Structure 1
Amino acid sequence: MEIKNVEVNEFKSTVTIAGWTRLVWTDDKLKWQAENYDGVDMFHVAPHEVWQPDLVVQNSATTTAIAQESTNLLVFKNGEILWVPTTTFPVLCDFNLKMWPFDQHRCKLIIGSWAYNSDHVQLQYYGNANNTIVNNRTPDEVLEWHITDFELLMNTRNFCCGNSYPTLVINFTLKRITTCYKSLILSPLIVVIILSLLSFWLPPKSEEKILLNVITTTIIVALMLYFTLKLPAMGNDTPLIVKFYTSTLIITTLSMINAVLIIFLSTTPQKYPVPSMLRKFLNHHLGIYLGLSNYINQDKSNLDNERNKPPENFYSGKYQDDWILLASVINRILFLIYTLIFIVLISKYTL
């Protein structure tokens, strides 16, 4: 068999292999002496004029036979018949899309006689088994799939009545060529992670936090819609990349809620101070460790100024810097948590 084209349909779990198949058998009734027929040692016949093996693909997704009656046969004087029809094998394959789009699948092609059992027909691979399958497709071509790793087996199957039927089992591996997917999948992944974490580094009062989260959500939703078009609905074999973006969408939603809370704490005048113990801890330990010294210094200078103001300014927002510091600490802690979550997601779903 010489493979010319491979078409994969993940939605129907089928692989269609198109190519040429070389079939050779001997018919004793078609032997002759060439000298008795003016030296003729070969002639052409139509498929319906001679006996043909009724070979079918037993794991086919359709009822198409292995050989189509579209080409003539060559009959040689020793009774050998050579037939090289164009063939199409639509076979069922159990796809596991867990590693999509960097996936590969093990499929099989089972060829056997439909009506003749082992007492009438014996099947074997032609010539050297290593040259039985010729794959002219190379990974360098602009293709999505490449067939590798052929395994040729001969087997018998018992269907009924104690009769065994010979079969040829061709196991092969389908490997997806991922060149076109690397930039399509990996580039948005990097952008999503950067945008998700960048919102935590903006000033607490910055409303651009919400904008960054909206942009990140839009990118993820667009990718999820793309996955819906490219992938079938799977049960336990949901691609890891889909799980990653699903988890990222949840994280981005929580990040947007956090952004709204941080902006609220930073911009809304607060009438009540931050508890003294918490404020002391933020100014002397946690704030320094989180790299928020600028907010701490600003908080101290503003506090000295507020002490010199008259009491009637008590509700004018003089505690706002404390709340900004608290919002910044919450924001920085969540940044560390989200970074850790992304590292876990990347190691679990993409590596």
Structure 2
Amino acid sequence: MLRRFIYLCRYCYRVFDLLVTALCYLFLRHYVVSEQGPHEKRLLNALLASYNTLERPVANESEPLEVKFGLTLQQIIDVDEKNQLLITNIWLSLEWNDYNLRWNDSEYGGVKDLRITPNKLWKPDVLMYNSADEGFDGTYQTNVVVRNNGSCLYVPPGIFKSTCKIDITWFPFDDQHCDMKFGSWTYDGNQLDLVLKDENGGDLSDFITNGEWYLIGMPGKKNTITYACCPEPYVDVTFTIMIRRRTLYYFFNLIVPCVLISSMALLGFTLPPDSGEKLTLGVTILLSLTVFLNLVAETLPQVSDAIPLLGTYFNCIMFMVASSVVLTVVVLNYHHRTADIHEMPQWIKSVFLQWLPWILRMSRPGKKITRKTIMMNTRMRELELKERSSKSLLANVLDIDDDFRHAPPPPNSTASTGNLGPGCSIFRTDFRRSFVRPSTMEDVGGGLGSHHRELHLILRELQFITARMKKADEEAELISDWKFAAMVVDRFCLFVFTLFTIIATVAVLLSAPHIIVQ
């Protein structure tokens, strides 16, 4: 009895399981058939049986078909300045009403929309006019969403490569406006009318920010143009992508190193000429700047329409560094000049020894240069020239008041020895001895002749010694003047080039439309 009961229970469980399975199958089968089963197939057959993809879907052929056009900017992939191209990731949006794709959803099991491949339907041949893509059309063919009222929505994504006129005048502080012109390739404005889907322009809600460019906006505009090829007007929609370059990278990687290199060139004017490294420092800085500019040239756009602002700044700094090397050579030339090779012109004395030191507040040890001393030195030089022109040759040579032949004769002598000064008392002694009364006439003639010859020889020797001492003093003073002139040129170049670097940097930053965009 127990075995029969267990067997009966198992049998009843199997029957119940089969009944539940059958009921579920019937329920699900009934649900699918009533909602999306053969109704969608029947609807597709009914719509596409007599559908012609070449037919413009309008109720009245004399009226244009209105197509709402818009786009969604996803990402700015790249801006190629050298080839003047803009590469973007964009979703297009085309919406129109197809007169031949309408149905009553109650007759087809409540089916209100369909997804149909675009090659089975008519769709507007909207293309980007300024496309630079190899296949010209870079969109991906997606399905068209068709609703029961005939509304068709076509949203093809794509990678668009468009031409863009790049203006590098203010590089790297530049703004770029790149146009993307969309329109029908074959339908004129009387057959197809493009309308902006959003008057504000493109959709930027899903835009992914770019590390190099900042998106300002993307306005759109509808244009009606009559081309030379065709008398009919053609309608297009032009979107302008307005972008601004982020300058933080260029500021810290191009401008700041260039300013630092130019500042090192200024330090060369503070280096003493006797160190031997003055010219070496200038040439090394010039070579380092040249290598740096070669690296920067790869970043700058290779176009000849305009000179970039950054390129102008680099050229100014390059000119400044090259000029500093040239002026360093001039300074070294002045510093190592000697009196037996070069004579300092009067204009150099006036400019580099008087006026420039006074302007630059420079002075020599024991010689304070002021405007009063400059005028006094000029007056004394004029008086000295007048005095030298009125004195005799011997007085100028021996630096005495005047020639001894014109001085009054001393007492107890028949001939004058001249007022030769305290340092020339030997002349008076010799003259007194030479004019002692002789015993005979021969002694008179011989004594006078020998003493005159001795005096002449002594004067010649004194003239030679005096000339050598004066020449040595003049040479030492001239060498000191040349060295001071070199120091003045160094100080003047330091002030001028520092001012030039500051003005050039400030002028570049102030002339830019914007300074830093992070």
| Residue of 301, 304, 315 corresponding to 1:232 | 301
Residue 12, structure 1, aligned to residue 83, structure 2: yes
| Residue of 462, 465, 469 corresponding to 1:311 | 469
Q: Which amino acid aligns with 2:497?
A: Y
Matches within 5 A, 1:181-200: 181-200=250-269
What is the distance in 2 between the residues matched to 1:142 and 1:116? 36
| Deviation for aligned residue 1:312 | 10
Task: Flag the 1:189–1:135 CA change in 2: closer, same or farther, 3 A.
Answer: farther
Q: Which amino acid aligns with 1:336?
A: F
Residue 220, structure 1, aligned to residue 271, structure 2: no
| Residue of 48, 61, 78 corresponding to 2:132 | 61
What is the distance in 1 between the residues matched to 2:352 and 2:329? 21
SS of the residue corresponding to residue 243 of structure 2 reads: strand
SS of the residue corresponding to residue 74 of structure 2 reads: strand
Q: Which residue of 1 aligns with 2:212?
A: 144
Segment drifting more, 59-68 vs 232-241:
59-68
- Give ranges in structure 2 of 5+ residues lacking alignment: 1-70, 369-465, 511-518
Larger gyration radius, structure 1 or structure 2: 2
- Give yes or no for contact 1:56–1:64 (8 Å, CA) kept in 2: no
SS of the residue corresponding to residue 231 of structure 2 reads: coil
Which has more helix, going by share of residues?
A: 2
What is the distance in 1 between the residues matched to 2:467 and 2:264? 42
| Deviation for aligned residue 1:225 | 1.5
Q: Which residue of 1 aligns with 2:246?
A: 177
SS of the residue corresponding to residue 193 of structure 2 reads: coil
What is the distance in 2 between the residues matched to 1:316 and 1:83? 97
Q: Which amino acid aligns with 2:165?
A: D
Q: Which residue of 2 aligns with 1:304?
A: none
| Deviation for aligned residue 1:61 | 2.3
Residue 2, structure 1, aligned to residue 160, structure 2: no
Q: Which residue of 1 aligns with 2:4?
A: none
RMSD: 3.0
| Residue of 488, 506, 511 corresponding to 1:329 | 488
Q: Which amino acid aligns with 2:238?
A: V
- Give yes or no for contact 1:188–1:219 (8 Å, CA) kept in 2: no
Q: How many residues align?
A: 339
SS of the residue corresponding to residue 336 of structure 1 reads: helix
- Give ranges in structure 1 of 5+ residues lacking alignment: 301-307
| Residue of 200, 212, 217 corresponding to 1:130 | 200
Segment drifting more, 336-345 vs 156-165:
336-345
Q: Deviations along 1:145-192, whole A, 9 cap, x unmatched?
A: 133232221111222332111111112312111221110122113213
| Deviation for aligned residue 1:340 | 4.1
| Deviation for aligned residue 1:54 | 0.4
What is the distance in 2 between the residues matched to 1:113 and 1:281? 76
What is the distance in 1 between the residues matched to 2:216 and 2:253? 25
- Give yes or no for contact 1:3–1:136 (8 Å, CA) kept in 2: yes
| Deviation for aligned residue 1:132 | 3.8
TM-score, structure 2 normalization: 0.59
Q: Which residue of 1 aligns with 2:479?
A: 320
Q: Deviations along 1:118-153, whole A, 9 cap, x unmatched?
A: 122111122x42374225346xx5611133232221
Q: Deviations along 1:67-93, whole A, 9 cap, x unmatched?
A: 634322221111111222112332222
Task: Flag the 1:119–1:260 CA change in 2: closer, same or farther, 3 A.
Answer: same
| Deviation for aligned residue 1:285 | 4.7
Q: Which amino acid aligns with 1:149?
A: G
- Give yes or no for contact 1:31–1:79 (8 Å, CA) kept in 2: yes
| Deviation for aligned residue 1:279 | 4.3
Q: Which residue of 2 aligns with 1:154?
A: 222
Q: Which amino acid aligns with 1:339?
A: T
Q: Which amino acid aligns with 1:164?
A: P
TM-score, structure 1 normalization: 0.85
Q: Which residue of 1 aligns with 2:117?
A: 46
- Give yes or no for contact 1:206–1:263 (8 Å, CA) kept in 2: no
What is the distance in 1 between the residues matched to 2:333 and 2:274? 8
What is the distance in 2 between the residues matched to 1:282 and 1:230? 44
What is the distance in 1 between the residues matched to 2:317 and 2:489? 20
Q: Give the ranges of 4+ consecutive aligned residues of structure 1 lying more than 6 Å apart after TM superposition.
A: none
Q: Which residue of 1 aligns with 2:357?
A: 287
- Give yes or no for contact 1:241–1:350 (8 Å, CA) kept in 2: no
Residue 111, structure 1, aligned to residue 182, structure 2: yes
- Give yes or no for contact 1:204–1:324 (8 Å, CA) kept in 2: no
Residue 76, structure 1, aligned to residue 153, structure 2: no
Which has more strand, going by share of residues?
A: 1
Q: Which amino acid aligns with 2:280?
A: L
Q: Which amino acid aligns with 1:216?
A: I
